[in-house]
Amino acid sequence: MPRVPFLLAVACAAAVALACGDDDPPATTAPTTTRATETPAGLTTEVPATSTAAGTTEATAAPSAVSAFEPVMQAYPVVAGSRPHDVAPAPDGGVWYTGQGNGTLGWLDPATGEVREIELGPGSSPHGVIQGPDGDAWITDGGQNAIVRVDAETEAVEVFSLPADRPRANLNTAAFDGGGRIWFTGQNGVYGVFDPATEEMQVFDAPRGRGPYGIAAAPNGDVYYASLAGSYLGAIDLESGAVTELDPPTAGAGVRRVWFDSLGNAWIAEWNAGQVGRYDPASGQWAEWPLPGNAQAYAVYVDEADRVWLTDFGANAIVLFDPTTEGFTTFDLPSNPSNVRQLLGRAGEVWGAESAADSLVVIRY
């Protein structure tokens, strides 16, 4: 199993120097990046870095028998104490992130390192963020027990509270279906749907109680969620709201996050089992692969080439799984611990948030 060590010197950019605080003094150089490629299966190759320009290092790539793409990792500091949890590409080329530690939606400009923050409201503790069909940021806010929309242009904030009889849902993540409604999970045993057009909200009790966590929409608009405590994948009937419980082959796997490939297969991160799983809705068939080492698979994201990216708390790394070769490549994260809890991206980029290090990290390929 190839392992690619990324040695990153992460510094505070001038635009956010004041936000870094006395305990994290700004450096005088920009964040550095490294580049590497996958190596043939069974080999471990350390890729020596060579300086090419001020503030940037590139690696001499080892020959690859897996693919020709050359991933480059870069880290960006954000506001100290913000504890960024989830990230989402913004329509203007920036990147949104939820500041769970300070109740904000952050915005990062990858070109300059500039960071802005938007206050979400009293008691806010945001968890997930996604870009909606309208281009706005949609946030699951556990502190406010609400779905929050932030206008991408004006940064105006709208708060849509859950019904009074659904307090402390512990909101986690959200996904839009094919009809423009946003579905969401609450780890305290609920899932629900909100229609932005009518502002109607419905909240349902989840099968097996506590556990709903990650959620995602398939290419056809169907919505599935992952139950961590319940250890199942839930397929939601978009008309009735009823859920079909789909159990992976490994009992007690701890299904934490879910994402779909272009063929409509659901990929899941199995936290307890340290595995990546695949469910094919067309055939009803499952497959599972254990990650290398003593893994704890947290997040999962499938890119535009149907490569599967995961975060591994056990290895403090981002792990790439190639479904065509069934091989893994491990990318060491720059901070230890990093605690990257979610991945999301756009063509050519995979983004995550180092919640333990107040930093965002991207792999470009």
Q: What is the mean pLDDT of residues 343-358?
A: 98
The C-alpha angle 181, 125, 347, rounded to 5 degrees, equals 55
Query: Can you give the pLDDT at residue 70?
Result: 86
Query: Can you give the pLDDT at residue 362?
Result: 98
124 pLDDT tier (thresholds 50, 70, 90): very high
State what percent of residues in the chain have pLDDT above 90.
Answer: 81
Cβ atoms of 319 and 291 closer than 8 Å: yes
Second-level CATH architecture of 76-364: 7 Propeller (2.130)
Query: What letter does residue 334 receive in the DSSP assignment?
Result: S
Strands 308-312 and 297-302, bridge-based pairing: antiparallel
Q: What is the mean pLDDT of residues 34-61?
A: 27
Q: Is 16 helix (H, G, I), strand (E, B) or coil?
A: helix
Domain ranges of the chain: 76-364
Q: Does residue 346 have a pLDDT over 50?
A: yes
Question: What does the block give as tokens for 145?
Answer: 């027990």
Residues 157-215: tens digit of each pLDDT: 999 999 999 999 999 999 999 999 999 999 999 999 999 999 999 999 999 999 999 99
Q: Please tell me which residue, 134 or 4, carries the higher pLDDT value.
A: 134
Query: Can you give the pLDDT at residue 1?
Result: 58
Query: Can you give the pLDDT at residue 69?
Result: 74
Cβ atoms of 226 and 233 closer than 8 Å: yes
Write the burial class of residue 56 (CB in 10 Å: 0-12 exposed, 13-18 middle, 19+ buried).
Answer: middle
Q: Does residue 43 have a pLDDT over 60?
A: no
In DSSP notation, 218-267 reads -TTS-EEEEETTTTEEEEE-TTT--EEEE--SSTT--EEEEEE-TTS-EE
What is the Cα–Cα distance from 365 to 195, expressed in whole angstroms?
Answer: 36
Q: What is the mean pLDDT of residues 218-240?
A: 98
Look over the chain and give the mean of its residue pLDDT values, rounded to a whole number. 86
What is the Cα–Cα distance from 187 to 169, expressed in whole angstroms?
Answer: 7
Residues 52-105: tens digit of each pLDDT: 222 222 322 333 333 467 899 999 999 999 999 999 999 999 999 999 999 999
Query: Can you give the pLDDT at residue 68?
Result: 62
Q: Does residue 49 have a pLDDT over 50?
A: no
Query: Can you give the pLDDT at residue 364?
Result: 97
Q: What is the mean pLDDT of residues 133-160?
A: 98
The pTM of the full predicted model, rounded to 2 decimals, is 0.84
Residues 278-333: tens digit of each pLDDT: 999 999 999 999 999 999 999 999 999 999 999 999 999 999 999 999 999 999 99
- Going across the sheet that includes 232-236, the strands are 212-217, 223-227, 232-236, 243-246
- Location of structure tokens 């690696």: 59
Q: Does residue 138 have a pLDDT over 50?
A: yes
Question: What does the block give as tokens for 212?
Answer: 């709903």
The C-alpha angle 223, 307, 289, rounded to 5 degrees, equals 80
Q: Does residue 348 have a pLDDT over 50?
A: yes
